[in-house]
Structure 1
Amino acid sequence: MAGRRDGSLMREKGQSVLRSRIVVAIMIGVLLGCVCAFLFPHGFFNSDPLFGNSRIGKSDMQIDIAACESPEHINALKADIVSVSEKNSELKKQVRVLTEKLRQAEQGKDHAQKQFLVLGENHKAGPFGTVKGLRTNPTIIPDESVNPRLAKILEEVAVQKELIVALANNNVKEMLELWFTNIKRVGIPNYLVVALDDRIEEFCKSNDVPVYKRDRDEGIDTIAKTGSNHAVSGLKFRILREFLQLGYSVLLSDVDIVYLQNPFDHLYRDSDVESMSDGHNNMTAYGFNDVFDEPAMGWARYAHTMRIWVYNSGFFYIRPTLPSIELLDRVSDRLYREPKSWDQAVFNEVLFFPSHPGYDGLHASRRTMDFYLFINSKVLFKTVRKDASLKKLKPVIVHVNYHPDKFSRMKAVVEFYVNGKQDALEHFPDGSDW
């Protein structure tokens, strides 16, 4: 019993000592906490960047905020923004100018070098009869910045980067309607009317015809609205340039044309310009050796000449190449400087005249279309309608270019080839009445 009491007393004494130590530890902790709170009122880790000088920091911050909010400072900032914006616009303008100069410089490189880039490395000449020169010039790099609005329209209308384009004002409304009616009947999807006045634009829209009206241009608009047929015809060379710059091949079409087949199924696309001819047989359309006789020259009285009838500037296919754009530029420039000139004559002179002293000719490849498929009205009324075999052939298009009574002859062409009326062409004279 005495032993159990001694053990119990010892356990009670040990527990008392442990409790005393815990109390002392708690008191020391509280004391240290009070000291730290007094010495470090903001704590050991303070995110305030102004720690250590809080009164001064807050005062400075209030001053800075007040300064930023002052009207003078705000106006100064606005002025700086305007100045920077103006400088930025000027820099952008300079970049555009430099880009255009670079593009022109690239286009101005030697033509032979451009052919070299297409053909690759130099080649040795092959065996006799196997050598073929470059037929097709490379297409240009499209530049959509030239006319973004037109670029968007062409992206929707064109098929494989090519389309038919016609210019029209209200003076040719009847022929235009017959023109696009037959295009729709044949099923040609890629065509576009360039409206030269508001009435034609609305007329096309009301008939679900793809139409594009250019942005206002006083010089062009005056001719477009009031000019003669020849004057309006001359505009196409300036307007077509943008189509080519955007990278599209164009089949330029006058509106006095009846479409009987899809012309894109009958193009070769191996030349810069592929045009219908004003010729009426193999010799006149494709060229011939014409002998000039001058008896006064005696033994040398005969001089051989090469002749070909002109290309029709109212129906030709033109690819987006450098020579093609140069052709349009040269013709446009001539027509501007020589306002009484006929656009078709200038078109052919630029296309065919060779280089000679004082003149650098145009290096453009050319192809003449089959004159029985792309038929002019002289061939139709003077030859085809009188030949039983030729009457059975169905041309791709008929261009009523040789006769002034265009609309009545266009309707007769539709009657003959579309509706099968065999005598529809008979009552017209070979030529014109005046």
Structure 2
Amino acid sequence: MAQNQHQRPLTSSPRSYSSMISNRRNALLLLLLLALVLLLGVFLPWPGSPLFLFPNRVSSSSCPSSLSPQAKSKWRDYTLAEAAKFVAKNGTVIVCAVSSPFLPFLNNWLISVSRQKHQDKVLVIAEDYVTLYKVNEKWPGHAVLIPPALDSKTAHNFGSQGFFNFTARRPQHLLHILELGYNVMYNDVDMVWLQDPFQYLEGSHDAYFTDDMPEIKPLNHSHDLPSPDQNGETYVCSCMIYLRPTNGAKLLMKKWIEELQSQAWSESIRFKANDQPAFNLALNRTAHQVDLYLLSQVAFPTGGLYFRNETWVKETKGKHVIIHNNYIIGYDNKMKRFQEYGLWLVDAHALESPLGKL
């Protein structure tokens, strides 16, 4: 006899019902596991980031333009020792000091450093909290602030007391890094790398530096400290320095700090109110105790030569390593000159910088 179409289906056996419940439970557990994996992938940092080394730091993915108070407090606690340890490669740190108005110049310099494959060694010493948060938002772990923070507006103007306060901190930062045991290269960010400068750091001297005088030297010039002029002064540049963690280099930094502490800023000396005169005094007063090395002028020309002697530039083409945009005053003037010489890279090549477009 045919089965009634409205007959209720047979009830499942206890074994089949138990199996069905078990399958549903397994499916639910699998979904929960997948959700957990996705959450971990979003919120945990990748192993190479500073957050993996320092779990109390904030990651770039959780650093919006306006950072939360909690995120800001974490970067405020980031120490120079932690930062140097994170960026150092082969015992070397590349340092620059930046206030927020100069972030475009920082980015321009970083593009040129990246082209020479040395960007991972870079540590930005932020002189204000805007710079600290902006760099670490884009490039976690590569900026540190050493209190107190400065007024970025006054530090922006050459010759101002704020500018003097800004540059006067430089030897203290460098000495600290030397005492941590690292080689350190310092650059101002109004520079552009055309070649790898490390191949020019010959020998094992304590300190390497460049001459700031525009007079042309012979290609095989002496690497000794330049002779003082008729006023007893030398004009070595304090904007490109390489130091090894030796007693001699540390002595030079300590003497530089002493000279700066004895030099009070005033309107009467405003155009000399930066760290360079004190650096030259320190060099001359420690020359008999420190192994000094003057870098090649053709490789590291001052802006007073590179931007003002077209004939010399053509004759030495291909030999330039770092170009310094000095011998000119004013933010806009520096930018315009870089643009005129094809050295303003940010507009067309921002993505080559670790910071990307700012």
Q: TM-score, normalised by structure 2?
A: 0.61
1:322 to 229, 237, 247: 247
Once the two structures are TM-superposed, the CA of residue 212 in structure 1 deviates from its matched residue by 2.9
1: CA distance between counterparts of 2:195 and 2:317?
Answer: 15
Give, in whole Å, the separation in 2 of the partners of 1:274 and 1:398: 16
Using the TM superposition, give the Cα deviation of residue 195 of structure 1 relative to its aligned residue in structure 2, in angstroms. Answer: 0.9
2:106 corresponding residue in structure 1:
176
Counterpart of 1:335 (choices 246, 251, 260) is: 260
- Contact kept in structure 2, 1:244 and 1:320, CA below 8 Å: yes
The Cα of 1:209 is off from its aligned counterpart by 6.9
After superposition, where does 1:111-126 map in structure 2 within 5 Å?
A: none
CA RMSD, Structure 1 to Structure 2 (Å): 3.4
User: Who is 1:351 aligned against?
Assistant: 283
Check whether the contact 1:150–1:212 (CA below 8 A) recurs between aligned residues.
no
Q: 1:386 to 1:334 in 2, by over 3 A?
A: same
Determine the structure 2 residue equivalent to 1:368: 294
1:392 Cα offset (Å) = 2.7
- The 10-residue stretch of structure 1 (203-212 or 319-328) with the greater mean CA deviation from structure 2: 203-212
Letter in 2 for 1:347: F
Q: 1:197 to 1:279 in 2, by over 3 A?
A: same
Which residue in 2 is equivalent to 1:392?
A: 317
Q: For the residues of structure 2 that align with 1:390 and 1:333, how far apart are their CA atoms?
A: 41
Superposed structure 1 runs of 4+ greater than 6 Å apart: 287-292, 416-419
Alignment-derived partner of residue 182 in structure 2: 248
In the alignment, is the contact (CA less than 8 A) between 1:196 and 1:225 conserved in 2?
A: no
Contact 2:98–2:126 (8 Å) recurs in 1? yes
The residue aligned with 2:339 is 411
Greater shift, 165-174 or 225-234, is seen at 225-234
Is 2:212 the counterpart of 1:212?
no
Tell me the matched-pair count. 250
Matched ranges for 1:8-407 at <5 A: 149-188=79-118, 189-208=120-139, 211-217=142-148, 221-222=149-150, 226-227=154-155, 228-280=162-214, 281-282=216-217, 286=222, 309-340=234-265, 341-353=273-285, 363-383=289-309, 385-387=310-312, 389-390=314-315, 392-404=317-329, 405-407=333-335
Whole-Å separation in 2 of the counterparts to 1:398 and 1:206:
29
Shift of 1:333: 2.3
In structure 2, C-alpha distance between the alignment counterparts of 1:164 and 1:399, rounded to whole Å: 16
Q: CA distance change for structure 1 residues 231 and 148 in 2, over 3 Å: closer, same or farther?
A: closer
> Shift in Å at residue 190 of structure 1?
1.4
> How much has 1:156 moved relative to structure 2?
2.8
Q: Which amino acid aligns with 1:324?
A: A
Report the residue type matching 2:206 in the other structure.
D
Structure 1 residue matching 2:185: 3-state secondary structure: strand
**Letter of the structure 2 residue corresponding to residue 251 of structure 1:** M
Seen in structure 2, the aligned counterparts of structure 1 residues 388 and 183 have a Cα distance that, compared at 3 Å, is closer
**Matched position secondary structure for 2:169:** helix
Q: Which has the higher contact order (CA 8 A, sep 6+)?
A: 2
Aligned to 1:128: none
Task: Please state how far the C-alpha of 1:179 moved relative to its aligned partner.
Answer: 1.4
Note the alpha carbon deviations across 1:62-117, whole angstroms, 9 max, x for none. Answer: xxxxxxxxxxxxxxxxxxxxxxxxxxxxxxxxxxxxxxxxxxxxxxxxxxxxxxxx
Per-residue CA deviations over 1:240-263 (Å, capped at 9, x if unaligned) read: 111000001111111111111221
Quickly say closer, same or farther: Cα 1:230–1:153, change in 2 above 3 A: same
Q: Alpha-carbon deviation of 1:176?
A: 1.4
Conserved in 2, the CA contact under 8 Å of 1:258 and 1:413? no
Distance 1:190 1:150 in 2: 14
Q: Conserved in 2, the CA contact under 8 Å of 1:258 and 1:414?
A: no
Distance 1:389 1:203, change over 3 A: same
User: Once the 2 structures are TM-superposed, how far is the Cα of residue 215 of structure 1 from its aligned partner?
Assistant: 4.7
Deviations 1:395-414 (A, max 9, x none): 11101121122222223344
Q: Cα distance, 1:200 vs. partner?
A: 0.8
Structure 1: give runs of 5+ residues left out of the alignment. Answer: 1-146, 293-304, 355-360, 420-434
Residues 256 and 410, structure 1, Cα contact 8 Å, conserved in 2: no
Report the equivalent of 2:356: none
- Counterpart residue type for residue 311 of structure 1: V
Q: 1:239 to 1:386 in 2, by over 3 A?
A: same
Pick the structure with greater CA Rg.
1
Cα distance in structure 2, aligned partners of 1:199 and 1:327: 32
Are the counterparts in 1 of residues 209 and 293 from structure 2 also a CA contact under 8 Å? yes
Counterpart of 1:205, as a letter, is: N
Deviation at 1:319, TM superposition (A): 1.3
- Offset at residue 225 of structure 1 (A): 7.0
Are residues 291 and 233 of structure 1, via their aligned partners in 2, closer, same or farther at CA, if it must alter by over 3 Å? Answer: closer
The residue aligned with 2:66 is: none
Deviations 1:305-338 (A, max 9, x none): 9x88521001111111122222222222221232
**Change in 2 beyond 3 A, CA 1:224/1:266:** same
Q: Measure the CA separation in 2 of the matches of 1:179 and 1:283.
A: 28
1:358 aligns with none
Q: Would the alpha carbon gap of residues 210 and 396 (structure 1) be closer, same or farther in structure 2, given more than 3 Å must change?
A: farther
SS of aligned partner of 1:339: coil
- Are 1:179 and 1:255, in contact at CA under 8 Å, matched by a contact in 2? yes
Q: Is the 8 A contact 1:248 1:319 kept in 2?
A: yes
2:71 — aligned with what? Answer: none
Structure with the higher helix share, 1 or 2: 1
Structure 2 CA distance, aligned partners of 1:245 and 1:289? 30
| Equivalent position of 2:70 in the other structure | none
Given the two structures, how large is their TM-score scaled by the length of structure 1? 0.51
